[in-house]
Amino acid sequence: MSNSEIEPTMRAFLSRNFFLDPGVTLGGQDSLLESGIVDSTGMLEIIQFLEEQFGISVDDLEVLPENLDSVVNLIQYVGRKRAAGGQAA
C-alpha cells in the first residue's frame, strides 16, 4: 500500500473515530493534539488502529509527535514502518 493509498484510510478513521465535523477538512500538517481532536485516549486509539489496520507494531519509543501528531506524520510513519517490515522506523 503506497502513501497515497494510506491517506484515505487514515482520514476516514480519524473522521469516524473522533466524530469530526464533516464540514471541516483536516489539514495534513494540523496537529491532532493542539487542535483538541486527540487526547490520551485518542492516542491509544490511533496506535491500536495503526497496529490492526497496517500490521505494524508501534514501539513505546516511537510514540512521538513527529510520528503520530498529524495526518502527514502518520502516513509517513506507517510508510517507513511498512518499508522496514514492521520494525522500528
Partner 1 sequence: MPFYPTVLDLDVAQEAARIRETIARTVRAEFRRKGAVVGVSGGVDSALVLALTAQALGADRVLALLLPDKDSSPLSALLGQQAADALGVATMTVDITPALTALGCYVQRDGAVQEILPSYDPTQDTLKIVLPTDLLERGSLNRYSAVVSGPDRPERRRVLTPAAYLRIVAASNMKQRTRMLTLYFEAECRNYAVVGTANKNEYAQGFFVKYGDGGVDIQPIQHLCKTQVYQLARYVGVPAAIIERTPTTDTYSAECTQEEFYFRLPFELMDLIWYGFEHELPASIVAQALDLTAEQVGRVYGELGQKARSTAYLRAAPVVIGPAAPQPALVGAVTRGASDE
Which residues bind to partner 1, rule: CB under 8 A? 33-34, 36, 39-41, 43-45, 47-48, 60-61, 63-65, 68-69
Nearer to partner 1, 12 or 44 (CB): 44
Give min distance, CB of 79 to partner 1, in A. Answer: 20
Nearer to partner 1, 9 or 31 (CB): 31
* Cβ density class 1-36: b for 16+ within 10 Å, e for less: eeeeebbeebbebbeeebeeeeeeebeeeeebbeee
For 69, which DSSP code?
S
Place of cell 487526547: 39
Nearer to partner 1, 42 or 79 (CB): 42
